[in-house]
Amino acid sequence: MAIAAPGLGSNLDVNGIITQLMNIERQPLAQLATKEASFQSKLSAYGSLKGALSNLNSSLTALNDPSKFQAVSAKVSDTTILSASALKTAALGSYAINVTQLAQSQSIIAAGQSSTTATIGAATSTTLTIDFGTITGGTLTNGVYTGATFTADSTIGSKTITIGSSNNSLQGIRDAINAANVGVKATIVNDGGASPYRLVLQSSTTGANRSMRISAAGDATVSSLLSYNPQGTQNLTQANVAQDAAMTINGVSVNSRTNSVAGAIEGVTLTLAKVGQTNVNVDKDVAGVQTSVQAFVKAYNDLKGTMDGLSSFDAATRTGGPLLGDTALRSVESQLRQTLSGSLGGVTNSNYSVLSQIGLSFQKDGSLALDTSKLSSALANDVNAVAGLFASVGTATDSLVQASKFTANTKPGQYAINVTQMATQGGLVGPAGSVTINSGQDVVAVTLDGVTANVTLTAGTYTASEMASHLESKINGTATFANAGLSVKGSVSGAAFALTSGSYGSTSSITISGIAGTTSTAGVDVAGTIGGVTATGKGRSLTAGANSPADGLEVTISGGAVGDRGEVRFVRGYAHQLQKTLDGLIAGNGVIAGRAEGISRSIKDIDQQRDVIAKRLEAAEARYRAQFTALDQLISSMRSTSEFLAQQLATLPGVRN
């Protein structure tokens, strides 16, 4: 009969013995667990390091953007009078502004009616013709002009609205005017009088040239209600006069048709709010640069703290960080320090060539310190030179030459610019003298810079100046051209009207089919060399080719003459170089990713070893149990034999206790 439980036959603690033996057998698993914990700690450490490197990389984005250094701010001393915004091309300086008049639109009020829905007049159709123009001279009393002159603006053209039996009520007239979208907004106001409902017509656009003249032909009652001629019969009274905004800027008189005044100060838009005096100071906006530099310093020092923690050693506890003595960590720190400590290649004739000159320096512990006063002084002294320390920047010695683009292939250096042909704009000149646009032949086909659209003109006879203004307004107001970013400028050439495309180069051209006697001239591209090598011209831009060290450098020639045009100095700043270094470190094939991948493989190997050992332990335990079960049975058998022999010996003769 088999023994039911190990040790019962021999009184041996078989389970205890096997447990102790298996504890010894399991020691390799404990060693693997310790090894795996170390690997996991290193893997986590590399993740922390990569995160800190990524944060540093992100902090450099703004510093590697040249446009951030070109930002301009316009500060207004009294923002209740006006607000201001500035482009990076704005003319820096202080401007004293005195707003004496705001732009406003004209509004005129019709005689009161007793009902908004009652029919006005008979069912006779009435045609309203609205002209916009300027009122000059005469006097204005209680909303009525005496002795004034109305001059229609031919560039706007007449607008017509039909009032018939379906809309010859006050509401119907209002809705018809609004639906026509002719530049007039109609509303009905209740003044509380005996005939309280009054139609109010307001020009949709501000400016002195937006006064209205309304003539009516058809039903006498409707015509009487709506006819308005500032130099004749005025059946409506004026509530608000159409006027331009008026101001002085540093003593110079400036008028604007709207309260948004762009171009009076180069690169600055003023938005007028009320009459009054204020000052506008236009200057470089260096606050954003200072903030970006401070963010970079913080990110670098955070990274330094992370690296110090990962490689630290505590003498008291005799424990080290997970990356203590790690060669990859030392390599990362060395590359960053070397990138920031070296000088920039290609920098010459600059106020600044190293970071310490603008207040950035390394401390004894390897962290970065920022002297904000020194940085502020550097930005005030030469913000472009500071930009060259951080970003990839091209700076031209000629104010009419701008380095606008570059590529990864553009090498730092100084490149002479020589222009052999200036870019020109395409244009068109009309016939000499006046031009007549006949009704029914008022739609002309215009092709501007390769884009064609039909343009509807207003029938009439125009002087050369009027035709130039009318065509400019109509072409620029055509959605096809506006959506494509195309425009023209009208002018007078001798006794003829002329149009000039807003773009430059061989694709710049204007043709008009429908006006006889016009002559078109296409534009030409700029031509020249960059660094002594022939560049490709397109419009006003020259681009260096692959056969040049300046490969990909694009410069814009905005004016001037042919010949030598100075040089462009191209540099790749510390932010660019550091980002390039960081990109390599945190890339998928970088040193950190390589170490992390190696550790991950080691962890997988440990898992495989653990599986092998687990199977071996299972077999060992089975073997031990089999062996000790056999031993237990053997001892039990021997004990039984011993007891039997003792009993037999006790029965033998002569044996006495």
- The pLDDT value recorded for residue 344 is 72
Residue 396 is assigned to a structural domain of this protein? no
Give the C-alpha separation, 289 to 64, whole Å: 11
637: in domain: yes
pLDDT at residue 338 greater than cutoff 70: yes
Residue 608: inside a domain, yes or no? yes
Helices 27-59 and 327-341 sit at what angle, rounded to 10 degrees? Answer: 10
The answer to the question of residue 189 being in a domain is yes
Do 126 and 238 belong together in one domain? yes
Q: Determine the pLDDT at residue 347.
A: 53
Clarify whether residues 114 and 187 are in a common domain: yes
Q: Identify the CA nearest to 617 among candidates 5, 16, 15, 29.
A: 29
pLDDT above 90 (res 169): yes
Q: Is 76 a member of any domain?
A: yes
Calculate mean pLDDT across residues 623-646.
80
Closest CA to 530 of 540, 541, 517, 543: 543
Higher pLDDT, 618 or 271: 271
- Which residues lie below 8 Å from residue 451, measured CB to CB, with a gap of 6+? 480, 481, 484, 486
What number is the average pLDDT over the span 458-480? 90
418/566 same-domain check: yes
Give me the domain span that covers residue 628.
14-56+590-651
Query: Got the DSSP string for 245-270?
Result: EEEEETTEEEEESSSEEEEEETTEEE
Q: What is the 3-state secondary structure (H, E, C) of 445-487?
A: EEEECCEEEEEECCCEEECHHHHHHHHHHHHHCCHHHHHCCCC
At residue 4, the pLDDT reads 47
Is the model's pLDDT at 10 over the cut of 80? Answer: no
Is the domain of 485 the same as that of 549? Answer: no
Alpha carbon distance 82, 80 (integer Å): 6
Residues 489 and 546 both lie in one domain: no
Residues 6+ apart with CB under 8 A from 644: none
Domain count, the chain: 5
Q: Could you tell me if residue 370 is inside a domain?
A: no
Q: With 60 as the cut, is the pLDDT of residue 3 above it?
A: no
Helices (H), 502-590: 574-586
Q: Which of 52-61, 105-114, 397-406, 585-594 has the lowest mean pLDDT?
A: 585-594
Q: Which long-range contacts (CB under 8 A, 24 or more apart) does 475-479 make?
A: 475/446, 475/448, 475/499, 478/446, 478/453
Last residue in a domain, options 511, 543, 572: 572
User: How large is the average pLDDT for residues 283-288?
Assistant: 86
Half-sphere exposure of 566 (CA within 13 A, CB side): 16
pLDDT score for 656: 54
Q: Is the distance from CB of 126 to CB of 215 less than 8 angstroms? A: no
Regarding whether 216 and 129 lie in a shared domain, the answer is: yes
Q: Find the CATH number of the domain harbouring 441.
A: 2.60.40
Each residue's pLDDT tens digit, 172-203: 999 999 999 999 999 999 999 999 999 999 99
Residue 249 has pLDDT above 50, yes or no: yes
Asked if pLDDT for residue 66 goes beyond 80, the answer is yes
pLDDT at 353 over 90: no
Give 527's strand partners.
421
Q: Say which range, 107-116, 205-214, 537-546, 572-581, has the weakest mean pLDDT.
A: 572-581
User: Domain for residue 578, yes or no?
Assistant: no
Same domain membership, residue 464 and residue 599: no
Note whether 224 and 112 are same-domain residues: yes
Residues 35 and 114 in one domain: no
User: What proportion of the chain, given as a percentage, has pLDDT over 90?
Assistant: 56
Domain match, 550 and 634 both: no
Mean pLDDT estimate for the chain: 89
pLDDT for 341 equals 81
Q: Is there a single domain that holds both residue 151 and residue 172?
A: yes
Instruction: Express each pLDDT in 646-656 by its tens digit.
Output: 887 888 876 55
Indicate if 559 and 597 belong to the same structural domain: no
- The answer to whether residue 342 sits within a structural domain is no
| Separation CA 189–CA 191 (nearest Å) | 6
639, pLDDT greater than 70:
yes
Q: pLDDT tens digits, residue range 26-50? A: 788 778 777 877 778 788 888 888 8
pLDDT digits (tens, 9 = 90+) for 564-582: 999 998 888 889 889 888 9
Percent of the chain scoring above 70 in pLDDT: 97
What does the pLDDT look like over 532-555, one tens digit per residue?
999 999 999 999 999 899 999 999
Most confident of 28-37, 215-224, 310-319: 215-224
State the pLDDT at residue 260: 96
Average pLDDT over residues 325-354: 78
Give the per-residue pLDDT at 1: 39
